[in-house]
Amino acid sequence: MNITHKITYGDQSIPYTINPDPKRHARIAIHVEPDGSVIVDAPPEFDLSAIHTAVQKRARWVAGHVGEALTRFAHVRPREYVSGEQIMYLGRRYVLKVIPTDQKPHPVRLKGHRLEVETKSGDADDIKGRVRAWYRVKARDYFAKKISEATDRLPWIEEVPAFRLMDMTKQWGSCSPEGQVILNPHLIKA
């Protein structure tokens, strides 16, 4: 069970979550996530006051990293999925064009410098879902081609490795010991 606490550094009050980690036995680990949240992994038997004291000792380091994370995302606005927003695809920017329709919506399509999405409801969640599905299809096809091309150039690989797409928050991809390639579908944006 995760428990949230706060440390103070100057006039800042910084929340942190304690994550009991049975793999830890002697020390805590402090992580500042990309969104600025703070997670402290601690042995389950550690006393809460000892954890708080240890985190408070690192308050300057925590505050600095939280500040950096928040600065990185200060200019980023949440996506609204409305016409005029910019959508990334293969490293290029495209303008999202939302097209209301009373008919069955056509599939999402790239037309010139626009990504056209037809929708009956105009609901942001519907548009988001359609764009994400389009990204997944494009990513599947693009990565299948790239993996096949790379396999052809590598003489020690006899067959094209299996791959799958998986949304990941902290990494772009990985390869299992069995050789299965796992890729983040958001890579298609870059």
Predicted TM-score (pTM) of this structure: 0.68
Residue 190 pLDDT greater than 70, yes or no: yes
**Token reading at 153:** 């150039």
Comparison of pLDDT for 26 and 41, the residue scoring more: 41
In the chain, pLDDT over 90 holds for what percent of residues?
A: 73
Q: Are 38 and 49 in contact (CB under 8 A)?
A: no
Residue 41 pLDDT greater than 60, yes or no: yes
- pLDDT of the residue at 113: 94
**Token reading at 75:** 């200019």
- pLDDT of the residue at 70: 86
- pLDDT of the residue at 155: 87
Residues 124-183 pLDDT 10s: 999 999 999 999 999 999 999 999 999 899 888 888 889 999 998 889 999 988 888 999
Q: Are 95 and 114 in contact (CB under 8 A)?
A: yes
- pLDDT of the residue at 2: 65
Q: Are 119 and 105 in contact (CB under 8 A)?
A: yes
Would you say how long the chain is, in residues?
Answer: 190
Residue 1 pLDDT greater than 60, yes or no: no
Pairing label, strands 173-175, 181-183: antiparallel
CB count, 10 Å around CB of 45? 9
Q: Is the dihedral of CA 76, 80, 81, 85 positive or negative?
A: negative
Q: Residue 10 — φ and ψ, nearest 5°?
A: 65, -125
> If pLDDT is split at 50, 70 and 90, which confidence band does 3 have?
low
- Burial of 8 per CB tally in 10 Å (0-12, 13-18, 19+): exposed
